[in-house]
Structures are given as C-alpha cells and as structure tokens.
Amino acid sequence: MNPRVFLEVDHLSPGERVKVGGEDGHHLVRVLRVGPLESVAIGAAGRGYLTQVESIDAKAGTVTLRVQNELSSHEAKLKVYLLQGMPKAEKTEFIIQHGTELGLNGFLLYQSNRAVARLDGKDAKKQTAKLVRWERVIREAAGQSQRDVVPTLAYAASWSELEKWLTGVAPGLILFLDEEEQALSLKAALTSYAEDALAEQFSQNASAVNASAEEESDGSVRPVVLCIGPEGGWDDNERQSFIQRLGAVPVTLGPRILRTETAGLVGAAAVFYHFHALGG
Amino acid sequence: MNPRVFLEVDHLSPGERVKVGGEDGHHLVRVLRVGPLESVAIGAAGRGYLTQVESIDAKAGTVTLRVQNELSSHEAKLKVYLLQGMPKAEKTEFIIQHGTELGLNGFLLYQSNRAVARLDGKDAKKQTAKLVRWERVIREAAGQSQRDVVPTLAYAASWSELEKWLTGVAPGLILFLDEEEQALSLKAALTSYAEDALAEQFSQNASAVNASAEEESDGSVRPVVLCIGPEGGWDDNERQSFIQRLGAVPVTLGPRILRTETAGLVGAAAVFYHFHALGG
C-alpha cells in the first residue's frame, strides 16, 4: 500500500508537480524515507491521486511529486457524521481514530450535561492543544486507511453551537441512539429514510426512473448524523431537545448495552452497510 | 441497570435460591456493595434472570440471590464467531472486549504466519496467564453489556487446531476478509447465505412457509465465522487454505483500509445488522 498525504489544493492533473513540505514532507522524508520513483498517494479536494516521487530535498524535508493519475474514489457516497457526547479523553481518541478508518465525514464533540470530561475549562490553551492533537490523530488515520478526505472535527460547548454545526452539515436524518424501549430499530429508521429519499428523488427527476433502486438509494441521500451519549448517557432534557427541537429519530441497537465508544462505531458501520458503503 | 453475574448452573426457576461466591461474590459484596433486596441479574445456561439479594455474608464474600423471573433474551439468534490472526496483546484485549459487547459468541486467536505477537513461546505458564486474563476481560464485558452468555476464547497454534475448533463451531458460512479486488462484497455474501438458509429450511419444513422471510432468516441459520488477518495480513498459503480447504468466502469491506482490530468489529456489526440482530 502506498503512503498517503493530504494537500490543500484543488483538482490535480496528470503530469502536474506538487511540492510537499511541512509535517507531511517531514513524514515522507524522515519517517517513511521514500526514494526517487516511489509511489505516493495524495488526497486533495475529496479525490485521490497516484503520484511518483520526482525529487527529494532531505535537508529542507520536502518532496516533489509528479501526478500520474486519479484513483477510484475511496469515499462513501452517503456522508455520515458522529455527534458524540464528550467522553473521557482516551475514548475520544479511540472514537475519532476508528471512526475515520470506517469512513465518517466528521465529528462533533458536544459538552453534554452528563459528560464526565470537560473541554470548556478556563484554560483555553489546553483546549486548543487537545483539539490540535486530535486533528493530527484524524489526519494520520485518514492517511493509513486511504481516505480521500480528512474528516472534520468540531467542538460545541453549548446547544446553540450544536445547532450551528448542524446547520452546516444539513442532515436529512438525525439518529438519536437511545436505550428507551420505545425506540425504533436502526434498520426500520434507515429503511424508511432510504425510501423517502428515493421517493423525493423520483418526484424531482423523472429521468432517474431508469436507474435501479439500489443505485439511487446511496447516491444522493442527504447526510446522516448519529448522536451518541457520553459514558453517563443523555439526560431527559437533552433527549427531549434532540427529539422535539431537532426532529431526531430515537433508535436502538438492541438489548446488549454498548459502551459509548463502541456504539458510535457499530452504529456507523450499520449505516454504511445499509447504504452499500462497506464494499457494495 | 442491574449488575450481572454468570453462573454455571442449569435452568433456574422463580423462587429458587442461588449462592454466589468466589470472584463474582467478591465483586458483588466488595466492589458493587449490593444491599438487601437489591436487584441483580444472572446469566446462566444462555438465559438471563432477574434476582433479588436475600442475604449477604460480607466476611465470606458470598451473596444469596432469590430468582424472580426470567428476562427476555439479550442474545442474537445467529451465532457469529471471530477467527482472528494473533494481533499484538493490547489489540487482542480491545477485540475481545468490544466484540463481546457487540454479541459475538466466541473468539479463536490463531497463530497465523505473519502474526507479530506469539502466544506459543516456550513459556507455557505465561501463555496460560494471558488466556486467563483475557477470559476475565470477556467475562467482565459480558456482564457490563448484559449478555446472557459469556463468549468462548480459544487459541490455535497450528492449522490442525484451527480445523478442530471449526469442527466444534460447525459454521454454515466462513467469511474470509480479504483486500483482494476479486473478493465479493460482504452484503452479496450475506444475502446469498440468508437465501440459501431460507431455501434449505423450506425444503425441510413445509409448515415454515407461513412465517415471513425476515423472521425465518435470522432464526435457524447456522453459525457464521468471520476470519480477520493480523496486522501484517494473511499470506498466500493461508489465503489458499482458507478458500480451498475450508470453503471460506473471500469478502471485502470496501476501499478504506481498516486496522485489524477495527475490521472484526465492523464486519461483525454488519453481519448482525444484516440478520436483524442489532435491535431488529
């Protein structure tokens, strides 16, 4: 497998040269010790490219790559986000790392009422340091798992910040993982969502009728947000706010009790599986 | 949520008394500090029971429980096993802990060719100590996640030991997770397996025709074994042996590369989801 770095550039064309410096350059030169003509993959603007090492400046820690061709997409068509009640720090790392491998598009860490850990203390410097560290974890996991994009990481200290984040994501479905008996099964919620999205699409575009239902159902579905409580769970006010103010659908993953760090991964795996985004 | 302990007893009836000692008794008395009349759940012979604390002997570390009623099952009807190429020790713990929560029925750690860690060294004492430790991890996770059974843990140092383990499990489907391009999608493999199982059942029992296809498809399907390579993957000989000698079906989870400890969890989540074992 080729090493993969991410660049903040627009579309790349075959033959084009790109110079990689900074942390990525350092990583290629010093850690991976790439040599001339070696293959390196690039993720840029949501696409993957195969490149070849053209020259190396070991002193400066920079590598010049020559683009060979665009790679087939490694991204799921359906965008899935995780809204996670702030867990303990080591669990956060677990969640963002494995969630990135799985294919999540972004994470919101929410300072929910029963969260044990806090990120919104008085020490703004420490808070920033943690976020920077976690962003690096995500970037590394994205490279290792051969993602085309680096998932986003955001933090919401308040309900209004959470709402603002949601506005940016513009989800078509918010799933609220709940242990309550009256929750819908995840499968029922996803089946209904896929059918609604399909119906909406047919009504908008009659020419889509020729495409198969399965192809349609993972193509142009609006993002899904999966909400997972912290170790202590959500409190009743939060439950009410998610369901009544945001229209979140309470769903259950069954009678076995999953830890907060397992629930997000398992729930997201099921969403991707449903929409043919785990290998078709 | 009630604390849950596991007992090696047969069927329990309402009104029956059971005495819990040993590690479980210690845990209830000293760690959880249960009091009289408190509720405690029991897992026994694959079923869950609700009980009430009748008396406590703090000195001896024993608790006498009185069975109230049987609880609804927390187990998936489909049994899923993980055959895991021996990973590094801390990953093993991760895999068995989270796999237990998810609902796996058992684990086989296999000393595959490219495994970095070894359990079959000269020090038999150390090996036993590790397995005993991991069994405790599984038991604790089973209690916390409210399982009715404690998943099994086995170790195979050789191919013949692996085959022996498989004979005991008697799977109807062996999934071999593979990065090769020609692998089937997991969804295609599971859909075909569910259809075959359904057809077999109809031919065996005509009266099953009245039941819905979905109810049937998770009821009497033979166990599934999911095979995941170690950090370095399987080698070609192993790939050939799994596919040609065991009839394993090579499947892919898509273009994103999952770490060994993520792949088992995500793959198993998809299998459970497919067979309605993640909350319906």
Structural domains of chain B ordered from first start: 4-70 (2.40.240.20), 80-274 (3.40.1280.10)
Q: What's the rounded mean pLDDT across residues A226-230? A: 97
State which residue of chain B sits closest to A277, comparing Cα positions: B254
pLDDT: is A163 or A208 the higher one? Answer: A163
Residue contact A256–B74, C-beta within 8 A: yes
A72–B contact, CB cutoff 8 A: yes
Q: How confident is the model at residue B207 (pLDDT cuts 50, 70, 90)?
A: low
SS3 sequence, chain B?
Answer: CCCEEEECCCCCCCCCEEEECHHHHHHHHHHCCCCCCCEEEEEECCEEEEEEEEEEECCCCEEEEEEEEECCCCCCCCCEEEEEECCCHHHHHHHHHHHHHHCCCEEEEECCCCCCCCCCCCCHHHHHHHHHHHHHHHHHHHHHCCCCCCCEEEEECCHHHHHHHHHHHCCCEEEEECCCCCCEEHHHHHHHHHHHHHHHHHHHCHHHHHCCHHHHHCCCCCCEEEEECCCCCCCHHHHHHHHHHCCCEEEECCCCCCCHHHHHHHHHHHHHHHCCCCCC
Q: How confident is the model at residue B263 (pLDDT cuts 50, 70, 90)?
A: very high
Q: What's the rounded mean pLDDT across residues B199-211? A: 63
Q: Which residues of A touch B73 (CB under 8 A)?
A: 255
* CA B12/CA B120 separation, integer angstroms: 40
Q: Taking a C-beta distance cutoff of 8 angstroms, is the pair A105, A55 a contact? A: no
Two structure tokens written together for B202 = 């109809």
Q: What percent of chain B has pLDDT over 70?
A: 94
pLDDT: is A260 or A122 the higher one? Answer: A260
pLDDT of residue B123: 78
Amino acid at A26: H
**For the purposes of burial, counting CB atoms within 10 Å of the CB of B273, is it exposed (0-12), middle (13-18) or buried (19 or more)?**
buried
The ipTM estimated for the assembled molecules is 0.91
Instruction: Among B256, B257, B259, pick the best mutation site for testing chain A contact (most A Cβ within 10 A).
Output: B256
Q: What's the rounded mean pLDDT across residues A117-137? A: 86
Residue contact B279–A145, C-beta within 8 A: no
| Residues B167-197 pLDDT 10s | 999 999 999 998 776 789 999 999 999 998 8
Spacing of C-alpha A131 from chain mean position: 16
For residue B206, pLDDT beyond 80: no
For residue A205, pLDDT beyond 70: no
| Residues A47-67 pLDDT 10s | 999 999 999 999 999 999 999
pLDDT: is A130 or B213 the higher one? Answer: A130
Provide the residue count of chain B. 280
Q: How many CB pairs under 8 A join A and B?
A: 130
The whole-chain average pLDDT of chain B stands at: 91
Q: Which residues of B touch A190 (CB under 8 A)?
A: none
